[in-house]
Every structure is written in structure tokens, then in C-alpha cells.
């Protein structure tokens, strides 16, 4: 057989696939991914965010630039707000590269932030956002009370509805 060596044929077949777009995702910065779980103050799992007291409708990713505190790319954006029962969320690739203090804020059904002390969350974590890459945060634990409608008298059972 005369002609092209096998390695060149494989490269010729693979190169177009490697150069093809990876998908239909706009890349205008980096992304941030976070997971969370909700627990009572006595350590029981809250399986439904409606059973939290007060009820948690959403969790919002809060990003504050360490270089310029005025730069808060998630402020007012639905892309940084996730339904609480989802237990995981990720922003689009829209966060400008840089170092940020990242935290998770519980949000009530009325859209207002639930203050720390009402729903406790860990202190902000400092992380770098890199263009075209996801930044993964450790899983957050949010602590609050169990609503009376979901509260079990058996403190060994989770706080759950129905």
C-alpha cells in the first residue's frame, strides 16, 4: 500500500472533530457551579425547602470581586438564582475572569434575601474564575428551622412534608 501513513490518516479524520464547536454554549467568561443541602439547626435534613422556616424558594450565588468590590456580576441576574429544591446550580459562562468571594444566599418566596441568622450559610470562599472554565465550589450547608407543618416529634427523622 503506497500513500498516507496510518497516523496521518487518523489525524486527518480526528482533526475536524477536534476543531468543531463543542456545543451551543456562549463562552463570554467563566462559570460557577455550587451544590447545597438544607438542615435544621439540630442537624436533621430538610428534604423539601418549603419545610424550612421560613420557606426557602431560591438560593442565590453572590460573587464579590476581590479586586474591585463594586464588581458583583451576579447582582440582579436570574442566571445566578436557582430553585432551592434543585440542590445544584451553575451560571452560564458569563463571569469575568478574576478572584471572587463567593457565597450562597437563601431567598424567600417574596424574592427577599433571608438574613444570616434566619438561614445560616457558610462564610464566603475565595476562588478564581477562569475564562471558559467552570469554577466548582464545595457543597454548602444551609441551616434553619423546620416549619411546624413539617416538624416531626421524632428528632431522629428528617424534616419533611406530607
- What's the average model confidence in pLDDT over 23-41? 91
> Above pLDDT 70, what percent of the chain?
82
Kindly indicate the confidence band of residue 23, based on its pLDDT and cuts at 50, 70 and 90. Answer: low
User: Can you read off the three cell numbers belonging to residue 142?
Assistant: 444551609
**Which segment of 4-13, 23-32, 55-64, 72-81 scores lowest on mean pLDDT?**
4-13
pLDDT in tens, 59-107: 999 999 999 878 899 999 999 999 999 999 999 999 999 999 999 999 9
- What's the average model confidence in pLDDT over 6-35? 62
Amino acid at each position: 500500500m503506497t500513500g498516507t501513513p496510518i497516523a496521518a490518516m487518523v489525524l486527518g479524520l480526528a482533526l475536524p472533530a477536534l476543531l468543531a464547536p463543542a456545543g451551543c454554549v456562549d463562552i463570554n467568561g467563566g462559570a460557577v457551579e455550587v451544590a447545597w443541602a438544607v438542615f435544621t439547626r439540630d442537624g436533621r435534613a430538610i428534604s423539601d425547602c418549603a419545610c424550612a422556616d421560613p420557606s426557602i424558594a431560591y438560593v442565590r450565588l453572590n460573587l464579590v470581586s476581590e479586586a474591585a468590590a463594586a464588581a458583583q456580576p451576579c447582582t440582579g441576574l436570574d442566571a445566578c438564582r436557582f430553585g432551592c429544591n434543585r440542590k445544584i446550580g451553575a451560571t452560564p459562562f458569563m463571569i469575568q475572569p478574576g478572584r471572587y468571594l463567593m457565597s450562597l444566599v437563601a431567598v424567600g418566596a417574596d424574592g427577599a434575601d433571608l438574613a444570616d441568622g434566619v438561614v445560616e450559610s457558610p462564610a464566603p470562599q475565595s476562588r478564581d474564575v477562569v475564562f471558559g472554565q467552570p469554577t466548582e465550589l464545595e457543597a454548602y450547608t444551609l441551616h434553619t428551622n423546620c416549619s411546624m407543618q413539617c416538624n416531626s416529634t421524632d428528632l431522629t427523622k428528617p424534616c419533611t412534608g406530607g
